[in-house]
Amino acid sequence: MNEYTPIIAIANTATLLMGGAVAALAFRAYRRTGAPALRAVTIGFCCIIVGSILGGLVHSLEGNVALGVAVQNSFTAFGFAILLYSLYAEMTDSASGSTTIIR
C-alpha cells in the first residue's frame, strides 16, 4: 500500500456514489419518458461507475496502479462516448408522436 491508496479509495467511492445517483435519476427519467437519450445517459454513467470499481479492484488485488488507472480511464472514455451519443440521440414526444433530433 502506498501513500495514494486512501486518496484513490476516496475518489472511487465518491465516483460510485455520485455517478450512481445520476445514473439512478436518469434511469427513472427514462422509465417515465421512454426517451432513448436518457437510456444512453444511464448506460454511459454505468460504464464510468463500472470502470471506477474495476480500476480500484485491479489496483487493490494486483497492486498495479498503472494498470488500474488504464482500466478506469478506458471505461471512463467509453462512458463519455456514450454520453456524447446521448446528446445526438433521437427523442420521441410520446404525446404528439413527433420525433426531434437534438443537435
Above pLDDT 70, what percent of the chain? 85
d(CA 91, CA 100): 5
Dihedral angle sign, alpha carbons of residues 79, 80, 82, 87: positive
User: Measured in Å, how far apart are the chain's first and last C-alpha atoms?
Assistant: 47
Computed over its alpha carbons, how large is the radius of gyration of the chain? 17
Give the tens place of pLDDT for each residue, 12-57: 899 999 999 999 999 999 999 999 999 999 999 999 999 999 998 9
> Phi-psi region for residue 6, left (φ > 0), alpha (ψ -120 to 50) or beta?
alpha
Residue 83 has pLDDT above 60, yes or no: yes
pLDDT of residue 90: 67
For residue 41, the model assigns a pLDDT of 95
- Measured between alpha carbons, how far is 44 from 84 in angstroms, rounded to an integer? 9
Average pLDDT, the chain: 86
Distance of CA 95 to the CA centre of its chain: 29
What average pLDDT does range 60-73 have in this prediction? 90
User: CA-to-CA distance for 41 and 85, rounded, in angstroms?
Assistant: 9
